[in-house]
């Protein structure tokens, strides 16, 4: 019931993602704003970025991002500004430091481990094959080839 109520609340005034009146005059700034808002999560939606979300709070956040950019903030400063108010939950792109290093390094570490194991295993099997050909075999091969 609570969920239905929430949905009705959020969609009481259906709006759609980025509105024409939000778009900045400066194309370069607008591009930065879009890139930033694509990596910020809407705090009340289920897994949507504020760039895609229709929720009013996402609109507020999009406008806040643009205000900070117009005020001359760097991308990092804008992110810090939003995170300071809504927590790291809104970051779709978890920064590669602290515990998140585990997340970022998991792929390369697993790849190197699996690759290493495979190379060692293949070396072993390759050698086994090489051993299979003895000197006697070689002599016999030479004999056949000469004749």
Q: What does the binding site for other proteins look like in residue numbers (CB under 8 A)?
A: 4, 7-8, 11, 14-21, 23, 38-39, 41, 46-49, 52, 87-94, 99-100, 103-104, 106-107, 110-111, 114-115, 118-119, 122-123, 125-126, 128-129
Q: What's the closest the beta carbon of residue 125 comes to other proteins, in angstroms?
A: 5
Query: Closest approach of Cβ 35 to other proteins, in Å?
Result: 10
Q: Is 95 helix (H, G, I), strand (E, B) or coil?
A: coil
Residue with tokens 């430091």: 97
The answer to whether 94 and 83 have CB atoms below 8 angstroms apart is no
Closest-CA residue to 89 (of 17, 38, 40) = 40
Q: Which is nearer to other proteins, 64 or 91 (CB)?
A: 91
- Using the minimum distance from each CB to other proteins, give the nearer residue, 2 or 146: 2
Question: Of 132 and 143, which has the nearer Cβ to other proteins?
Answer: 132
Helix axis angle, 75-86 relative to 56-70, nearest 10°? 140
Quote the least distance from Cβ 138 to other proteins, whole Å: 17
- Minimal distance, residue 15 CB to other proteins, in Å: 6
- Both ends of the chain: CA-CA distance in Å? 91
CA distance 79 to 36: 8
Distance CA(62)–CA(115), nearest Å, equals: 44
Token representation of residue 74: 């760097």
Residue among 99 and 146 whose Cβ is closer to other proteins: 99
Closest distance to other proteins from the beta carbon of 55 (Å)? 12
């Amino acid at each position: 019931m609570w969920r239905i109520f929430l949905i009705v609340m959020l969609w009481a005034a259906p709006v759609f993602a980025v509105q024409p009146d939000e778009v900045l005059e400066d194309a370069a700034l607008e591009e930065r704003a879009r890139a930033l808002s694509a990596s910020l999560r809407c705090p009340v939606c289920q897994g949507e970025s504020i760039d895609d979300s229709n929720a009013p709070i996402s609109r507020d956040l999009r406008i806040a991002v643009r205000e900070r950019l117009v005020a001359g903030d760097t991308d990092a400063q804008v992110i810090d500004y939003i995170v300071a108010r809504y927590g790291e939950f809104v970051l779709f792109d978890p920064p590669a430091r602290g515990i998140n290093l585990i997340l970022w390094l998991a792929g390369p570490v697993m790849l190197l481990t699996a690759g290493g194991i495979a190379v060692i295993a293949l070396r072993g099997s390759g050698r086994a094959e090489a051993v299979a050909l003895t000197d006697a075999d070689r002599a016999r091969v030479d004999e056949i080839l000469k004749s």
